[in-house]
């Protein structure tokens, strides 16, 4: 079939195209989250393991920079298109209902998607400032983590954030497959179950870290 | 008022959206529905209320309805925040008053969407659905010259799946119930029917692009996979059809 | 006025082919110069609009609903007949023809019915090509079932929603032509008058139901596909909007009305349960394939159905008609239900119901098989009655369903007004005094897809037409008349609502001109209807104005026409002093209480010509010639 640039752009600009970008970038973040979680959990193997994981990761050099640029690009696309979809959806119903009840389809994840998304954006900025752009010359990443989480306020913020990430993922993950059109009546329930499992893993896996750290310190 | 004491008769308070015309300002008005037999359908209850309104010299509540057996797709309002009322797989005309309790307040609102303008009271203009179908919701065959009906075999499970999608009555409840006023279930059902059947395949690509393109143009919202449409659809059409549409559209647009 | 049916010469099986050859053709390039108005978008109207546009005519299509897809054809449940003989059970065009003629109790034209049977096969092919998801066998071939009045399996179906699927097919074809710019669609328009210029139908006056404005549309021919008049009975299985106004306006303008007393009462409907009831719901007759109809043997037996033992049940259809059993034609099934209830053997609270029991079928085939065939019907029944048909037998009672009568048309489907064509249920042509199950869809689509496209060409090709525009004085006159009538309706300001009058009219007709008729009752009804009409014009309360969306006004106009039409129906019933098919006059019955025809005196179509308000319409008879079938006493024993 002839590949037409015009069509390609048109397709991406359509409602389904925009959702496609949301789905692909979202799935990208899911992969990132899982990788990130696996890395973080090395903290349980002790200070040396965690620091060496961090060192080896940074030894990847250009590859890691490329990934970071990729993630940034994904984030920009996900946030801006998400915001635009939110605006379009808001505009699609200028006059709302006096009474509107859930017919049983909406979940806490689906209802809160734009808001959890916004919160996650804030969290990421803070998180990057705290752990990524932090001065790392005179302390190891392990020390930074320990120090940051020793602030109970921050630990609490972090745990809440991870619960919110989990909520976002609980709808986002299966939803991506629905948007990609790989879902059918048989697979759909599988995707929904996997979605819950991943969201629990993310929420629990990340959320447990501050608690674990407070125990070991 | 001996009837009111009868177990099978109830009194209700209705809060109904009244709007003179497309550009007029609307408001809620309250009516009393007395001695409503629980065997009545929701629309019959409105008939009775309207009779009283007419006799009192006022303008009766306008609402769309026709077949009153759940197939024409003309009727439909929000009833207490639910499209076609609280019963699953039911159009408004098939909703019976036995599902309400004495003294209930019933809020009745028109479908709300930028693409569906209110014509009067509870009547909305669903011309957008027509435009979507006109964009490609058919198989392009002229009358005459069709091959024998059995010339192409269609596996039973495929025919059944196509029929599941084809059951759509075009009432607009999916749009009304969707938090984003999206029409994806309606469009997905039509695209699915023709994608599943061998007769529809030659135009599958063109159809998917044209129908989705038209839908986007008409001001419907985007699907966020909230699945409210499937839950409110009086024909219980599955969101599997939305996935199929997505697949067909992306295949057509990108490959 | 002379009725000329224009039935072609030659052997029955060659008539249609020969006729098509003899019909004049419109040059393809000239077709776009002809404007055709199609009123109604059910199976007949939508298929005609689409096909005429495909041929190149400029089509204007009107419907009262907000979408063509909502026309009442959508509610047909059971299926559509075709003489495909896919089941190899001995079906043929001839057999479908014969069943239809016999089912109609020999009151239809041989040539028309034969053509219908011939075309039936093309319809299935056409619909399959359009993507109608008909039921299939495991091997992927089209499935069939048997239907009332037939001993072969020739009914094609799409679950219990065949009408919906066929209409969506035609609607798709129509939508395609709208997109192509060949059809202009006008929704929410109510045709209120036919404009006749120089004796030819040249346009319509329609009310825009949203703005209330009266609009004029001129054309070279007008096609009416506006359905039947079952709603004259108030309670019927028709949709709430179904009305006779367009057909009746044409009648007033000179189109003869044929056999208005032929009204089919469908045997399997959900019984009436209250005075507020607005319509009756049909349960597809296909249920009779697997269901057994019964009542308790004794009128005193008030036990719930599951407590009545087999020996104390009266399976009256199986006993009286061993050969056809529960599958006897609709009129026979309906009348027998009434007889049982009149004997006090009716069931349910009102005692106006009989049981339709699928327990044996569920046991034989399993719940899954039955659910696949009838699942949606069962659900519908449960929603309305709050009873589960899987557990307890359904209760059914006959209800007004279909009207065989309609505007008189010749073999070309043209009425007595040149240029006015009438299709589908709105005409009288193919079903005689009783329609067989699954034949209405067949006729609607035959008329629209395969007959009108040829015959309208013949009319347009041979007639020299001056161009007529909407500013012609006849349009103004017509519009003025309509406006005057609307103003009159609004100005009465009486004490009774439109529905109130409609309900009373329905009651009069159901009691006196319904399933069984008697001369005495008919005479009474004639007077009652006339009196009610007088009261209507003095005491109706409509409300609102004409310049807005006003559903009460829409109804008022329709009921006003029904009040006039109701009398015509009674007059026709009085005139036909015989029993045939659905017209069962108690004074004319066999010893076994079956309809007794009088072929000597009544083997004709009664076509009524309007003679002005207050004057008795004039009867014209088109005698029916039977050259290929022998007129027999219908027997389903």
pLDDT tens column, B156-197: 999 999 999 999 999 999 999 999 999 999 999 999 999 999
List the 19-48 stretch of B: residues with Cβ below 8 A of C. Answer: 20-21, 37, 39-41, 43-44, 47-48
- Whether C469 is covered by a domain: the verdict is no
Q: Are residues C119 and C149 in the same domain?
A: yes
Contact A178 B239 (CB under 8 A): yes
Contact B103/B86 with Cβ under 8 angstroms? Answer: no
C312/C302 Cα distance (integer angstroms): 12
Which residues in B lie closer than 8 A to residue A5 (C-beta atoms)? none
Q: Which of residues 154-183 of B touch C (CB under 8 A)?
A: 154-156, 159, 162-163, 166-167, 169-170
Backbone torsions φ then ψ of C357, nearest 5 degrees: -110, 120
- Contacts for C117 with CB less than 8 Å, ≥ 6 apart: C83, C93, C94, C96, C97, C100
- Cα of C164 to nearest chain B Cα, Å: 8
Touching subunits of C (3+ CB pairs, under 8 Å) are B
> C479 with C455: CB under 8 angstroms?
no
Backbone angles phi, psi at B211, to 5 degrees: -70, -40
**Pair C254, C185 in one domain:** yes
CB < 8 Å to B242, chain A: 178
B123 touches chain C (CB under 8 A): yes
Residue C2 forms part of a structural domain? no
Say yes or no for a CB contact (<8 Å) between B246 and A110: no
Distance from the Cα of A196 to chain B's closest Cα (Å) equals: 15
pLDDT 10s digits, A173-208: 999 999 999 988 888 999 999 999 999 999 999 999
Is the pLDDT at A4 greater than 80, yes or no? no
Report the number of distinct structural domains present in chain C. Answer: 3
Cα Rg, chain C, nearest whole Å: 24
Q: Which of B181, B239, B251 sits opposite A92 (nearest CB)?
A: B181
B112, B177, B255 member nearest A95 (Cβ): B112
C181 CB burial (10 A radius; 0-12, 13-18, 19+): exposed
Query: With 0-12 CB in 10 A as exposed, 13-18 as middle and 19+ as buried, what is C414?
Result: buried
Q: For residue B46, which residues of chain C lie inside 8 Å, CB to CB? A: none
Which of residues C381, C400, C419 is at a domain's end? C400
- Work out the average pLDDT over A109-132: 94
Among A14, A105, A178, the residue with its CB nearest the CB of B231 is A105
Which residues fall within 8 angstroms of residue B61, CB to CB, at 6 or more apart?
B16, B18, B31, B46, B49, B50, B53, B121, B122
Chain A: closest CA distance from residue B241 (Å): 8
Residue of B115, B205, B214, B227 to mutate for A, most A C-beta atoms under 10 A: B227
Output helix, strand, coil percentages for chain C, rounded to the nearest 5.
40, 20, 40
CA neighbor of C442 nearest in space, from C429, C459, C457: C429
Tell me if B181 and A175 make a contact (CB, 8 A cut-off).
no
According to the model, what pLDDT value does residue C457 have?
Answer: 97
Percent of chain A whose pLDDT exceeds 70: 98
- Find out whether B123 and C549 touch, Cβ atoms under 8 Å: yes
Using the structure block, give the residue that is written with the tokens 């061993």: C322
DSSP C474-488: HHHHHHHHHHHHHHH
Nearest residue in chain C measured CA to CA from B97: C384
pLDDT tens digits for range C204-260: 999 999 999 999 999 999 999 999 999 999 999 999 999 999 999 999 999 999 999
Rounded to 5 degrees, φ, ψ at C55 are: -75, -20
Is residue A150 within 8 Å of residue A214, measured between CB atoms? yes
Examine residue C357 and state whether it is found in any structural domain, yes or no: yes
The answer to whether the Cβ–Cβ distance between B114 and A94 falls below 8 Å is yes
CA C172 to chain B, closest CA, distance in angstroms equals 5
- The CATH number of whichever domain residue C162 belongs to comes to 3.50.50.60
Q: By CA distance, what is C136's nearest residue in B?
A: B156
Cβ neighbours of residue C295 closer than 8 Å, sequence gap 6 or more: C313, C314, C316, C340, C341, C345, C346, C347, C354, C355
Closest CA to B215 of B255, B179, B242, B238: B242
Residue B236 touches partner C, C-beta closer than 8 Å: no
Q: Which residues touch B180 (CB under 8 Å, ≥6 apart)?
A: A88, A89, A92, A93, B221, B222, B223, B224, B226
Q: Are B20 and C210 in contact (CB under 8 A)?
A: no
Among C241, C222, C221, smallest CA distance to C230 is for C241
For residue C198, CA distances in Å to B114, C248, C413, C466, C475 come to: 48, 20, 20, 10, 13
For residues C110 and C255, membership in a common domain is answered with: yes
Is the separation of the CB atoms in C408 and C607 below 8 Å?
yes
* Residues C438, C358 within the same domain: no
> Based on the domain organization, do C120 and C251 belong to the same domain?
yes
Q: How many angstroms separate the CA atoms of A130 and A82, rounded?
A: 26
**B201 shares contact with chain C (CB less than 8 Å):** no
Q: Which helix (H) or strand (E) holds C356?
A: strand C354-357
Give yes or no for B127 touching C (CB within 8 A).
yes
- CA atoms of A200 and C612, how far apart (whole Å): 81
What does the alpha-carbon distance between residue B208 and residue C154 come to, in Å, rounded to a whole number?
35
Q: Is B134 on the interface with C (CB under 8 A)?
A: yes
Q: Give the pLDDT confidence score for residue A5 in this predicted structure.
A: 65
pLDDT, tens digit (0-9, with 9 covering 90-100), for A82-104? 999 999 999 999 999 999 999 99
Angle at which helices B240-254 and A152-180 cross, to 10°: 80
Pair (C385, C530) in one structural domain: no
Neighbours of C300 (CB within 10 A): 9
The pair of structure tokens assigned to A40 is 């973080």
Burial-class residue B18 by CB neighbours within 10 Å (0-12, 13-18, 19+). middle
Domains of chain B, start order: 2-109 (3.10.20.30), 126-141+151-254 (1.10.1060.10)
Which of residues A1 and A151 earns the better pLDDT score? A151
Segments of chain B scoring below 50 in pLDDT: 1-6
Q: Which among A10, A181, A185 has the least Cβ separation from residue B247? A: A181
> Is C330 among the catalytic positions?
yes
**Closest approach of chain A CAs to the CA of B14, in angstroms?**
13
Interchain pair A11, B254: CB under 8 A: yes
**Residue with tokens 């209110």, as numbered in its chain:** B118
Residue C596 lies in a domain: no
Pair C130, C254 in one domain: yes
Q: Check if B8 contacts C (Cβ < 8 Å).
A: no
Chain C residue closest in CA terms to B149: C125
Is B37's CB within 8 Å of C66's CB? no
Q: Locate A64 and state its tokens.
A: 């890691």
Q: Tell me which residues of chain C have a pLDDT lower than 50.
A: none
User: What domains does chain A contain, in order, with CATH numbers?
Assistant: 10-94+105-216 (1.20.1300.10)
Backbone angles phi, psi at C209, to 5 degrees: -70, -15
* Angle (CA) C388 B74 C546, round 5°: 135
Q: What pLDDT digit, counting tens, does each position of A144-162 carry?
A: 898 889 899 999 999 999 9
Determine which of B104, B179, B187, B242 to mutate to test the interface with A (most A C-beta atoms within 10 Å): B179
Q: With contacts defined as CB-CB under 8 Å, which chain C residues touch B153?
A: 136, 139-141
Residue that is written with structure tokens 């929701």 in the block = B42
Q: Please name the member of B115, B222, B227 whose beta carbon is closest to the beta carbon of A89.
A: B222
The pair of three-digit structure tokens given for residue A55, joined into one six-digit string = 């060192």
Looking at the structure, tell me whether residues C251 and C119 fall in a common domain.
yes
Instruction: Answer whether residue C409 is part of any domain.
Output: yes
Report the C-alpha gap between C144 and C286 in whole angstroms.
Answer: 11
Pick the last residue of a domain from C441, C462, C483.
Answer: C462
**Partner B contacted by C259 (CB < 8 A):** no
- Pick from C51, C137, C240: which is nearest to B156 by CB? C137
What are C504's two structure tokens? Answer: 């009373």
d(CA C552, CA B54): 9
Strands C80-81 and C153-156: antiparallel
Please give the full DSSP string across C56-113, using - where no structure is assigned: T-EEEEE-SSSSGGGSGGGG--S-EE----TT-SS--HHHHHHHHHHHTTT-S-HHHH
Task: Identify the CA nearest to B12 among candidates B88, B37, B2, B27.
Answer: B37
Contacts of C453 in chain B (CB under 8 A): 143
Which pLDDT score, from 0 to 100, does residue B2 have? 35
Task: Judge whether C624 lies within some domain.
Answer: no
CB contact under 8 A, C543 and B59: yes
Does residue C192 sit within a domain?
yes
Domain match, C177 and C189 both: yes
C628 domain-assigned = no
Its domain, for residue C75, covers: 15-22+29-201+212-220+236-262+404-462
Q: Shortest Cα distance from B76 to chain C (angstroms)?
A: 13
Q: What is the pLDDT of residues C421-447, one digit of tens each?
A: 999 999 999 999 999 989 999 999 999
**Whether residues C258 and C322 fall in one domain:** no
Of residues C51, C172, C278, nearest to B139 (C-beta): C172
Q: How far apart are the first and last CA of chain B?
A: 70
**3-state SS record for C431-447:** CCCCCCCCCHHHHHHHH
Touch of A by C (3+ CB pairs closer than 8 Å): no
Cβ-based neighbours of C596, under 8 Å, separated by 6 or more: C578, C579, C588, C589, C590, C633
Residues of B in contact with C69 (CB under 8 A): 73, 170
d(CA C355, CA B218): 50
Residues C67 and C193 in one domain: yes
Domain CATH code at residue C483: 1.20.58.100
Among B219, B225, B230, select the one facing A179 at the smallest CB separation.
Answer: B225
* CA distance, residue A190 to nearest chain B CA (Å): 13
Name chain A contacts of B25, Cβ cutoff 8 Å.
Answer: none
Segment A69-78 shows an average pLDDT of 97
Interchain CB distance below 8 Å, B134 and C178: yes
Cα separations (Å) of C490 from B62, C240, C497, C587? 17, 21, 12, 43
Q: Is C139 on the interface with B (CB under 8 A)?
A: yes
For C265, the enclosing helix (H) or strand (E) is strand C263-269
Q: Which residue has the tokens 């050969």?
A: C323
Q: How far is B114 from chain A (nearest CA, A)?
A: 5
Q: Are residues C273 and C337 in the same domain?
A: yes
**Which of these is catalytic: C109, C145, C330, C533?**
C330
Q: What is the pTM of this model?
A: 0.96
Give the C-alpha separation, C276 to B38, whole Å: 11
**Which residue in B222, B244, B249 is closest to A85 by CB distance?**
B222
């Amino acid at each position: 079939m002839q590949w037409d640039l015009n069509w390609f752009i048109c397709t991406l600009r359509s409602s389904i195209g925009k959702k496609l970008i949301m789905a692909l970038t979202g799935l990208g973040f899911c992969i990132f989250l899982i990788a990130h979680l696996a890395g973080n959990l090395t903290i349980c193997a002790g200070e040396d393991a965690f620091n060496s994981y961090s060192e080896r990761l940074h030894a990847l050099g250009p590859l890691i920079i490329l990934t970071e640029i990729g993630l940034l690009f994904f984030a920009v696309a996900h946030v801006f298109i998400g915001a635009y979809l939110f605006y379009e959806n808001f505009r699609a119903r200028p006059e709302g209902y006096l009474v509107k009840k859930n017919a049983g389809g909406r979940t806490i994840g689906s209802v809160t998607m734009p808001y959890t998304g916004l919160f996650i954006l804030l969290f990421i900025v803070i998180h990057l400032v705290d752990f990524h752009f932090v001065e790392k010359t005179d302390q190891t990443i392990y020390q930074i983590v320990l120090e940051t989480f020793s602030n109970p306020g921050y630990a609490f913020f972090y745990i809440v954030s991870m619960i919110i990430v989990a909520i976002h993922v609980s709808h986002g993950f299966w939803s991506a497959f629905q948007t990609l059109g790989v879902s059918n009546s048989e697979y759909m329930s599988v995707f929904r179950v996997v979605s819950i499992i991943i969201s629990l893993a993310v929420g629990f896996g990340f959320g447990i870290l501050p608690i674990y750290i407070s125990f070991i310190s | 008022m001996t009837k009111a004491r009868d177990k099978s008769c109830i009194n209700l308070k209705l809060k109904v959206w009244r709007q003179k015309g497309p550009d007029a300002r609307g408001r809620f008005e309250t009516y009393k529905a007395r001695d409503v037999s629980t065997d009545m359908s929701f629309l019959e209850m409105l008939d009775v209320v309207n009779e009283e309104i007419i006799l009192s010299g006022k303008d009766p509540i306008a609402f769309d309805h026709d077949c009153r057996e759940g197939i024409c797709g003309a009727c439909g309002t929000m009833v207490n925040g639910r499209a076609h009322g609280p019963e699953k797989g039911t159009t408004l005309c098939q909703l019976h008053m036995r599902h309400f309790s004495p003294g209930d307040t019933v809020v009745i609102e028109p479908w709300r969407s930028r693409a569906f303008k209110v014509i009067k009271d509870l009547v909305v203009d669903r011309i957008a659905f027509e435009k979507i179908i006109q964009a490609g919701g058919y198989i392009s065959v002229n009358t005459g010259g069709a091959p024998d009906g059995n010339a192409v075999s269609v596996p039973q499970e495929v025919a059944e799946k196509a029929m599941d999608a084809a059951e759509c009555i075009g009432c607009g409840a999916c749009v009304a119930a969707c938090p984003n006023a999206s029409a994806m279930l309606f469009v997905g059902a039509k695209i699915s029917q023709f994608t599943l059947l061998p007769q529809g395949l030659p135009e599958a690509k063109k159809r998917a692009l044209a129908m989705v393109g038209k839908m986007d143009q008409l001001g419907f919202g985007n699907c966020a996979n909230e699945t409210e449409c499937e839950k409110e659809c009086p024909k219980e059409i599955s969101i599997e059809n939305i996935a199929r549409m997505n697949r067909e559209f992306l295949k057509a647009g990108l490959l | 006025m002379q009725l000329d049916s224009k039935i072609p010469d030659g052997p029955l099986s060659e008539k249609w082919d020969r006729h098509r050859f003899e019909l004049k053709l419109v040059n393809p390039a000239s077709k776009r110069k002809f404007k055709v108005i199609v009123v109604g978008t059910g199976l007949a109207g939508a298929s005609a609009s689409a096909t005429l546009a495909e041929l190149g005519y400029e089509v204007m299509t009107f419907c009262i609903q907000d979408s063509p897809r909502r026309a009442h054809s959508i509610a047909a449940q059971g299926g559509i007949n075709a003489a495909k003989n896919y089941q190899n059970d001995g079906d043929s065009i001839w057999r479908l023809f014969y069943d239809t003629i016999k089912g109609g109790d020999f009151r239809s034209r041989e040539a028309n019915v034969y053509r219908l049977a011939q075309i039936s096969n093309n319809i299935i092919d056409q619909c399959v090509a359009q993507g109608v998801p008909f039921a299939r066998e495991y091997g992927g071939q089209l499935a069939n079932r048997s239907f009332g009045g037939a001993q072969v399996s020739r009914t094609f179906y799409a679950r219990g929603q065949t009408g919906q699927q066929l209409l969506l097919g035609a609607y798709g074809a129509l939508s395609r032509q709208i997109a192509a710019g060949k059809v202009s669609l006008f929704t929410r328009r109510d045709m209120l008058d036919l404009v006749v210029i120089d004796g030819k139908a040249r346009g319509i006056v329609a009310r825009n139901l949203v703005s209330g404005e009266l609009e004029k549309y001129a054309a070279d021919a007008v096609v009416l596909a506006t359905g039947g008049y079952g709603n004259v009975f108030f309670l019927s299985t028709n949709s709430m909007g179904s009305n006779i106004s367009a057909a009746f306006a044409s009648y007033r303008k000179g189109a003869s009305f044929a056999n208005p007393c032929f009204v089919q009462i469908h045997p399997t409907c959900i019984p009436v349960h209250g005075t507020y009831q607005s319509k009756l719901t049909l349960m597809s007759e296909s249920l009779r394939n697997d269901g057994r109809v019964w009542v308790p043997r004794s009128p005193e037996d008030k036990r719930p159905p599951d407590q009545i033992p087999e020996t104390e049940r009266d399976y009256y259809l199986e006993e009286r008609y061993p050969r056809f059993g529960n599958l006897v034609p609709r009129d026979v099934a309906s009348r027998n239900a009434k007889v049982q209830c009149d004997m006090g053997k009716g069931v349910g609270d009102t005692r106006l119901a009989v049981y339709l029991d699928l327990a044996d079928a569920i046991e034989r085939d399993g719940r899954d098989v039955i659910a696949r065939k009838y699942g949606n019907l069962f659900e519908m029944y449960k929603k309305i009655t709050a009873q589960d048909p899987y557990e307890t037998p359904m209760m059914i009672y006959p209800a007004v369903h279909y009207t065989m009568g309609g505007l008189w048309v010749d073999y070309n489907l043209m009425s007595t007004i040149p240029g006015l064509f009438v299709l589908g249920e709105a005409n009288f042509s193919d079903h005689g005094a009783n329609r067989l199950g699954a034949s209405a869809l067949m006729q609607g689509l035959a008329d629209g897809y395969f007959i009108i496209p040829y015959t309208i060409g013949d009319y347009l090709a041979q007639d020299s037409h001056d161009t007529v525009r909407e500013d012609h004085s006849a349009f103004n006159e017509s519009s003025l008349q309509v406006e005057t009538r609307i103003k009159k309706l609004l100005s009465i300001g009486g004490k009774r609502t439109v529905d109130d009058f409609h309900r009373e009219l329905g009651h009069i007709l159901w009691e006196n001109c319904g399933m069984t008729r008697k001369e005495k009752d008919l005479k009474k009804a004639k007077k009652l209807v006339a009196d009610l009409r007088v009261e209507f014009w003095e005491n109706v309360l409509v409300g609102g104005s004409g310049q807005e969306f006003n559903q009460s006004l829409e109804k008022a106009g329709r009921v006003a026409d029904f009040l006039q039409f109701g009398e015509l129906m009674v007059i026709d019933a009085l005139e036909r002093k015989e029993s045939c098919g659905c017209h069962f006059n108690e004074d004319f019955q066999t010893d076994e209480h079956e309809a007794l025809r009088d072929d000597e005196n009544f083997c004709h179509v009664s076509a009524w010509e309007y003679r002005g308000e207050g004057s008795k319409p004039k009867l014209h008879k088109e005698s029916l010639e039977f050259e290929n079938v022998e007129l027999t006493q219908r027997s389903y024993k």
